Amino acid sequence: MSQAIQEAVACIRAKKDVSPAIGIITGSGWDLTDILDGICEIPYRDIPGFSCSTVEGHKGRVLLGSYKGKEVLCLQGRVHYYEGYSLEEVSFPIEVLSGLGVKNIIMTNAAGGIRPYLKPGDFMVITDHINLMGINPLRGLARREGCTRFVDMSEAYDRGLVSKVLELGATMGITIHCGVLAATSGPSYETPAEIQMLRILGADAVCMSTVPEVITSRYLGMRVLGLSMITNCAAGLTPSPMRHTDVVRAVERRRKDACRLVAAVIENMPR
């Protein structure tokens, strides 16, 4: 690990000595604080190397806690490429999670639905992605021992975890769609013509995050589960204008089901 990562790891462990096997990154509006017991909270600004989000719905703090005996580290909010951060800064927290011992990571986000059957408030488990951000977080990265920069992405999202989420959703009465996520750089929303292009390419939903973190997680050997909350219909599918405040509110309306689902995933996550 680089010195910067070591310092961040040491800072977090100085607050609470943890070796979590499960990490969570929350997207816009996702609030999973009700899940965890014995929470220790650390603002990003207090951790060396962490950048702070400037986006509504991203609180910018690390939550250390547990659920049914399993240690969990939750990154409450993320930073984005469109905020002006480099992908090195965007993916730095993933490197820190790996340094703390995280082996399984749950990525959540808010996404625009491209397919007609994806409505605001729906959950979608990500089965694959299309990186249209124009950049890769591994570009120029100093290779770690035991890691290859030529990362196999044929199973970026763990198939076993995808199957488990679908099984849990059916048991809990929560409808969960499967889909391919496209990632654009943002911060402007896509045009109707761009959405039409994404549909032709095979995307089911679109966001402005997640994919760089997934690539970094796979580079570090983590198992990844991706969960999208469909918060709006993509451009051209509705006459309503795109507004971030509506995105955050849409996630908040499904907060209880989101907490139930993620809690069940944690409970069933392999140790």
Using the predicted structure, report yes or no on whether residue 75 has a pLDDT greater than 90.
Answer: yes
Tens digit of pLDDT for each residue in 101-110?
Answer: 999 999 999 9
Of the candidates 88, 107, 76, which has an alpha carbon nearest to the alpha carbon of residue 222?
A: 107
For 145, phi then psi, to 5°, come to -65, 130
Contact 228, 205 (CB under 8 A): yes
Q: Could you read off the pLDDT of 77-100 as tens digits, one per residue?
A: 899 999 999 999 999 999 999 999
Residue 151 structure tokens: 């990362």
**pLDDT (tens digit, 9 = 90+) per residue, 121-178?**
999 999 999 999 999 999 987 666 777 789 999 999 999 999 999 999 999 999 999 9
CA neighbor of 77 nearest in space, from 36, 104, 102, 108? 108
Residue 1 has pLDDT above 70, yes or no: no
pTM check: above 0.75: yes
pLDDT per position as a tens digit, 19-72: 899 999 998 878 888 899 999 999 999 999 999 888 876 788 999 999 999 999
Domains identified in the chain and CATH numbers: 3-268 (3.40.50.1580)
- Tens-place pLDDT, residues 169-224: 999 999 999 999 999 999 999 999 999 999 999 999 999 999 999 999 999 999 99
